[in-house]
Structures are given as structure tokens and as C-alpha cells.
Structure 1
């Protein structure tokens, strides 16, 4: 004889709200077990919610509050059901500037950009951080008297980095998904392997090679779906030697 359990399909708005949002940010309701004259009993499970990406990003920004070329965070916190971060106003991205210049920078402009970004990337591991998403969209010019200063932003994919963390990560099986942006990601980023500061530098190398001719060898490859596109881009990167990548550069 099989026990049957009947669950009502109608859920009042208050109960639905409880199902949608963890109680005390920890307990998630699974089903209602019973109801009495003074209350309702639910089956629940403890849900250990990770910090939000925005909270982690705000924490990383705060570690660089006195550094040149990293935006100042004025406030981070909750507003109703939202997490909000307020930081200083910045100007256009390098991607915007690149488009404005006809999708090609001069050698002088490219080297001036590379000089500043190298300094920014040098600051990150000194604070135990790797960016993991180096691309023109994540570098912005300042405003006013800082109009010529390049700022590094978007630490949404950033990770903590120390030598001990790197050794431990090397023993972890790689994930099968891309970490970063396909056009500029390092090969290890494509492979889902643990990254280090050299991966940020590899991505910067792709940016420099992109700014002068305006195109990288793996742009425009045909593929079906994002996963397939990421795979063919990775394979093209692995097949392209540094000499081939730089053959059209000064």
C-alpha cells in the first residue's frame, strides 16, 4: 500500500512570497506540512547563500581606495531588495574611444595606453587580486583633471590570488566553461583552468595586438552557438604563434 501525499496547488500571495525569498536569508521553504489555528508548519532547508557578485566587487574596490586608476567607492549596501554600489563618475571606455578613432589607434596612443594598464595590472596581485576579464570595455578614462587617467573597472570575475592559492588551484580539475571574454581571454581562461597575473598580461597582449590593426585573427570565425564559438576561438589562439599575431605590428 503506497502512501499518498496531497499538496494544494493554490498558494496565497503571502505564502508564495515566502517560497520566493529565503527566510532570514537562510531557510528556503520546500512544502507546507500542516496548518493549525495559530500557524502553518513548513518543511525547509538551510541555504547558505554566497555573497553577491556585487558585494565581492565592492570589497575588491575598497582594497584599492588609495590607488591611482581605480575608482573610489562612496557607498555599498542594500536598498529595499537591491544591492547598490555608488562609485565615482568616469568617462568613456577604451572601446568607445577606439570606435571614435575609426577602430584603430596610432602606435603612440597604443603605447601610452599599454604603459598605464601595465601599472594597473601590477597593482592587482600586490593586493592578492587577478582581474580575469581584461578587455577595452573594462578600462575607462577619468573626468575633469583626471581625463587622461585610465581606470580599471568591473571586478565581477576577479579572483583572489596568492602563491599558495595558485598551487592549490593547479590541483583542481579545470572547468569546461570560459572565464572571461572570448576575444581577449587567455588560453587558460578558455580552458577553465586556474589563472594567475600572467593571464591578465596575456589578455593585455591581445588588446595591444587588437588596437593597432583593428582586428585579431580569431574574429569573424563561423560557429554554431556560443560554446562552439568559444572553442574555435581557443583553437585559433593556440594555433597562432606570437610571431604570427604580431607580424603586422611595428
Structure 2
């Protein structure tokens, strides 16, 4: 995009938002870009995300709103600053490690059940947390999930990010108690064709269950290609999703996934997902396979073979984690709690 290439304010070494120096560009889209920046005072790293005024609406305004609501919550970026400059708006947020999409491209897309189920539990926690604050993500996929900051204890945890397509499903006001937003009869398509639910394909109002369909399709893909992975036409993808045989879809997955999909099939916009049931089914898979949360992920094992691992995770870091006392960082009580009452 010419805007970013010609604007000297956004070149490597430029100071932005008074205290951040641009290190490199991390990515660029239709009306925005993300830069890696360093704080000129304490040398801390962060992500500087901008949106030009040419875009319709304000994706960053919504993203900042979500991050403010989730302040101090784990497994999401922390909002550090936000503002406007001539020609663009910006937010500064904590810098995560590589996305799950990049990790899988580097080390291989087929994962063990151990990695699959632990990614699932961690992501389920992050998704429920978002739902508990009144938002639906609407575009969950490996590209919008990442490990935590490199060199920190959070490196082994999955974070969700990019809330530009999120939507509030809870309406709040000063006078009235919170209530669920009334669903639209027809909604605009939001999401990614590969991972979205049938309801999303058919332009139904997305609810909490639609985020969980995205999660399940993503987890299923960790064990092998989705049946519609080679389809390019939207109608063809929808047709396969609606008619795929569950045995074929889940051929490489734990049997507990059958019960999770059956549960999701009973839900609609208003019905609250049984997060505890999904959690317990995933935990059941862990127990049956004697899987521990301290076990290395597949990419951590493979990083000991490669000389240039994604995120520069070292074998010593992997081994040191194995020495940590075994514990469950995702307590069942969290999944049973219903703070909003919906």
C-alpha cells in the first residue's frame, strides 16, 4: 500500500505515539498495518496497529473497546495506548509470539492428540472469557491465535487476538440491567469460510455457539485436512459442511469430539453453551491419554531439531518447563461460572 511506503512517519526508526520506535512491519491489510515497536524509555516491545481514515467505520475503535473491557485478563493482548494522528488511528498493545498459523506452517500442520486437546482447552478458556465480557469474536482461526510473548511463562499459552470483527451480544445501559441483544433476521457475513459455522454461512446472527464451531473446526484440522479444505466456492463449502459424515469429519479425533459437536448442534443464538461439558470432555481425553499440561507441544519437540525455531524457543526452555510441578492452569470452576446470567 503506497500510504505506508511513502509516509515517513511510519518508516523503520520513526517515533510514533511519542514513545514508540518502529522496528519492523509485521503485516499489512486493506486499510491498515501492524508494526513491531520498542519503547524508547524501557526498551519493552509492543505491537503498533494502525487504520487509515479511508476505511469504512472504525475497526480499531471496536478493538480498543474490547481490549479495555478485557483489561488484566489472561490470554489476550493488553491495550497500552490508543489515539489518532493525521491520516490514521492507532492502538498500541502487548506483543504476542508467533501465531498458531505460522507455527503450524513452519513445523507441520498435523498435530498429536496431546497438542490438539491442550490447545482446545486453552482456547476454550480464552473464548469463554471473551463471551463472559459480552463479546463474540466472529473470526476465530489459527491466524488469530498466538502463543504468548517469547521468553515469558506465557509463551506456552494460546492467546486470541484481532477483535476487529467482534460484536457485542449483551446490551448495557446505566438505567436498565444488561440484556441480550436481539438477533437480526439476516446479518452480514463475518468470518472465514474454512472455519465458520453453517449458521454463519447462511447469514444468521452469530452467537456464542458459532465461535465454538470455529474452534472445533480448527481443532479437527490439527489432526488432518477438513473435508472442504480443497473447495473454493462458498456454496460448495456450505454443502459439504451440511452433509459431511461425522465419522469422516472426526476420523482422526478423540471420540469425545462426537459429543461436543452433538452439543453444539443443539444450540442457537440465545442458548448458553455448556462450557463445562466441553471442558470435561476434553479433560477426559487428556486423562485417557495420560496427557499432562506440562508435556511439550509438538512444535517444542520439533524445535530441538531445527536450527531456527519459530519464536526462538530453546530446548533448555522446553526442558525447564518439564521440571515445573504439574498443575492445571484452567480450573473447572471457571467453565461452570456464568457471570452475566445469560
Q: Which of the residues 109, 120, 141 maps onto 2:126? A: 120
CA-CA distance at 1:101 after TM superposition = 2.0
Note the alpha carbon deviations across 1:206-229, whole angstroms, 9 max, x for none: 01110012x1000112x5xxxxx1
RMSD over aligned CA atoms reads: 1.9
Note the alpha carbon deviations across 1:157-216, whole angstroms, 9 max, x for none: 1100139445x21xx3314x5320000011111111111111111111101110012x10
Matched, 1:202 2:213: yes
Counterpart of 1:151 in 2: which secondary structure?
strand
Report how many residues are paired.
191
Counterpart of 1:122 in 2: which secondary structure?
helix
Query: How many Å separate the matches in 2 of 1:162 and 1:136?
Result: 26
Equivalent in the alignment of 1:181: 192
Contact 1:178 1:230 in 2 (8 A): no
CA-CA distance at 1:249 after TM superposition = 2.3
Contact 2:145 2:159 in 1 (8 A): yes
Matched, 1:150 2:162: no
**In the TM superposition, what are the counterparts of 1:1-250 in structure 2 within 5 Å?**
52-143=58-149, 144-145=151-152, 146-162=154-170, 164-166=179-181, 168-169=182-183, 172-175=184-187, 177-213=188-224, 215-221=225-231, 223=232, 229-250=233-254
Show structure 2 runs of 5+ residues with no match. 1-54, 172-178, 255-342
Counterpart of 1:236 in 2: which secondary structure?
helix
Equivalent in the alignment of 1:43: none
Normalising by structure 1, what TM-score? 0.72
Counterpart of 1:217 in 2: which secondary structure?
coil
CA-CA distance at 1:51 after TM superposition = 5.1
Query: How many Å separate the matches in 1 of 2:235 and 2:180?
Result: 27
Counterpart of 1:54 in 2: which secondary structure?
helix
Moved more, 239-248 or 200-209: 239-248
Query: How many Å separate the matches in 2 of 1:243 and 1:121?
Result: 26
Normalising by structure 2, what TM-score? 0.53
CA-CA distance at 1:86 after TM superposition = 0.7
Query: How many Å separate the matches in 2 of 1:105 and 1:96?
Result: 14
Contact 2:99 2:147 in 1 (8 A): yes
CA-CA distance at 1:105 after TM superposition = 1.2
Greater C-alpha radius of gyration:
1
Query: How many Å separate the matches in 2 of 1:117 and 1:207?
Result: 11
CA-CA distance at 1:63 after TM superposition = 0.7
